[in-house]
A and B are shown apart, each in its own frame.
Chain A
């Protein structure tokens, strides 16, 4: 997998992961610093995968220029331009799913397909998502993968590495707060009717971060969307079972 820094608008440096050959697919990550390598490799088997890190995540900079969801959306459009992405599938997880849906609403003609994995973007008072921003790490681990023993977040044992990981985490959660505070609903509902790309919604039935009720809310919002609710999986289905999710996506894109 190739990693490079992409300068943008003299304000941002975007860390870009690139792999594979063929028609391009853009993947937008979530907020969890999870290990997505296996997932990206599966995707890259058949396509050229472009996986930028959003500002404030990884080595990407410039988050202080993004004050709200609208700034993030226009950043996303500039980023697609800079990637030379004219058309093709857009895939997003969690915050990246929310941004993917927003982009597909702003430029409905640009995307051949839209795939959303456990996206944020809605709020259902009958089913409030938990406050992961203030929760203890073990609570968050539990919500990410309910009933699964294996930790899904990167947790180094070495003390120096653990400090660096804690700092990176503080930075990325701060960036996440820009668009998800105090609730993850920043108006997508008002714009979602513009989405015209065929859409796949993937959800883990054991997702405690975005409860699976939201899968049905998204399906209702995006009429005609195909919905896959997967038993046994949590908020990071593509990290837990990269093969399975890549196959699902592959059959949707075929």
Chain B
């Protein structure tokens, strides 16, 4: 289960009154007392998902952002490590280009792997333009090169047994020697969360990392991106193992269409119309995307700067596949279609959406975990090896009190 930790109480007229939910969101909209509740409720939700049988719980890094209150996902994962036993902890991830030196991430991820008894899945996103270049001031023109170098350094720090020096373009270190070391060998599985930049595909495949396409716009629009990923795999002679890819989908489960619309509809609309109300100029710091990716985008769309997506209603969200909604049977059927059409072996499900109250989120999690997941799990059984999941030989050590 994927969790963003959204701020659930933005005012009704937020999108009309404010330029962006990200980077410049006014601090007076944040109530710390409410924040304290949200952090604890969100951890409860993730722990509940773990207890009911989700294979993994997933946290992620965002900054200056009303829809994601986890500047440090590692703190969340540390809390989860002590309160869960068998579930995978997916930190998707740490924006490695933001940390100087980036071995801070190698160390913290190694700590999390030890704390959890070998349950960490390590995510290395380039990071959004909003997070990296605007909220954290990283130079967008060099961000991607800095990112590649940081990932190389972390992988070396995890796997090379000797003390070594590193002479990079962005990081120089006389002594690289991290204590602790990750429990999983040779290292925790590495997932690369991406937003559809075409240059990420080839690199991810070359490194044999998993590609996780994080889109809020549903499986229908994801087809083009995932087709592009698999075509790149073909070109590189990499087999189309569905476990090599993951996809994020918003899901709500209920009893009937009208009940679902009534209970979940407003919270999903809140997510799309308020939480994604991002100033277009923040999405695209100059140099964040390569000219090739910009070209691919420009040729495929006619929108110009400043075009905000139109306000979306519940019906639109269903029609476009942004939200998969229905009875357990209907959701199973749709998610099977998602997995097969995108050819993915790992589904990340967002069950806490927008302004959804805690009790309703728990209900959605329960229905998904107990009535949907058992039927989805066997989809690819016996056909492929999952080389991007927890290394089973790692000792499962955990809290004893």
A residues with a Cβ closer than 8 A to B are 63-64, 67, 133-138, 163, 166-167, 170-171, 173-178, 181-182
Given known A-B contacts A134-B134, A135-B281, A136-B305, A177 and B287 have beta carbons under 8 A apart:
yes
The stretch among B26-34, B111-119, B136-144, B363-371 that forms the contact with chain A is: B136-144
The smallest C-beta distance from B221 to any residue of chain A, in angstroms, reads: 22
CA distance A136 to B307 in the complex (A): 10
A176 touches B291 (CB 8 A): no
Closest to A166 in B: B298
Chain A contacts for B280, CB-based, 8 A: 136
* A-contacting residues, B264-296, CB 8 Å: 279-282, 285-287, 291, 294-295
Q: How far is the CA of A211 from the CA of B192 in the complex (A)?
A: 42
Asked if B281 and A133 sit within 8 Å, CB to CB, the answer is yes
Contacts of B294 in A (CB 8 A): 166-167, 170
Report which of A133, A138, A163, A177 forms a contact with B298, defined as CB distance below 8 A: A163
Q: Which of A63, A135, A177 contacts B139 (CB 8 A)?
A: A177
B299 near A: Cβ within 8 Å? yes
The 5 closest A-B pairs by CB, nearest first: A174-B287, A134-B281, A173-B286, A182-B137, A174-B286
Residue among A63, A136, A175 making CB contact with B306, cutoff 8 Å: A136
B291-A175 in contact (CB<8A): no
Tell me if A177 and B281 are in contact (CB < 8 A): no
Whether B140 pairs with A174 at a CB distance below 8 angstroms is yes
For residue B42, CB closer than 8 A to chain A, the reply is no
> B204 on the interface (CB 8 Å rule)?
no
Instruction: Indicate with 1 or 0, residue by residue over B120-163, a CB within 8 angstroms of chain A CB atoms.
Output: 00000000000001100101111001000000000000000000
Cβ A134 vs Cβ B305 within 8 A: no
Residues of A within 8 A of B285 (CB): 133-134, 177, 181
Give Cα A173 to B142, complex, Å.
13
B139 adjacent to A136 (CB under 8 Å): no
State A230–B139 Cα separation when bound (angstroms).
Answer: 33
28 contacts between A and B (CB under 8 A): A63-B141, A67-B169, A133-B285, A134-B134, A135-B281, A136-B280, A136-B306, A163-B298, A166-B294, A166-B298, A167-B291, A167-B294, A170-B291, A170-B294, A171-B291, A173-B286, A174-B287, A175-B287, A176-B286, A177-B139, A177-B140, A177-B285, A178-B141, A178-B142, A178-B287, A181-B137, A181-B141, A182-B137
A residues less than 8 Å from B281 (CB atoms): 133-136
B292, chain A: closest CB distance, angstroms: 10
Partner of A170, one of B134, B145, B286: B286
**How far apart sit A178 and B139, CA to CA, in the bound complex (Å)?**
7
Question: Is B282's CB under 8 angstroms from A134's CB?
Answer: yes
On chain A, the residues within 8 Å of B145 by CB distance are: 64
- Among B133, B280, B281, the most chain A Cβ lie within 10 Å of the Cβ of B281
The distance in angstroms between the C-alpha atoms of A178 and B288, with both chains bound, is 12
Q: What is the chain A residue whose CB lies nearest that of B288?
A: A174
| Chain B positions within 8 Å of A163 at CB level | 298-299
Chain B's nearest CB lies how many Å from the CB of A137?
Answer: 6
Tell me the bound Cα distance from A178 to B286 in angstroms.
Answer: 9
Of the residues B137, B141, B299, contact of A174 by C-beta under 8 Å: B141
Q: How near does chain B come to A71, taking the closest CB pair, in angstroms?
A: 11
Measured CB to CB, the closest approach of chain A to B102, in angstroms, equals: 17
Residues from chain B with a CB closer than 8 A to the CB of A170 are 286, 291, 294
Report yes or no: B305 in contact with A167, Cβ–Cβ below 8 A: no
In the bound complex, what is the Cα–Cα distance between A130 and B203 (angstroms)?
A: 36
**B residues less than 8 Å from A178 (CB atoms):** 139, 141-142, 287
Tell whether, in the assembled complex, residue A134 and residue B139 are in contact, meaning their CB atoms are under 8 Å apart: no
Residue from B141, B142, B282, B295 in contact with A167 in the complex, judged by beta carbons closer than 8 Å? B295
Complex contacts, B169 vs chain A, CB 8 Å: 67
Q: Which residues of A contact B287 (CB under 8 A)?
A: 173-175, 177-178
Chain A minimum-CB-distance residue to B142: A67
Pair A177/B305 contact, Cβ less than 8 Å: no
Chain A min CB distance to B350 (Å): 27
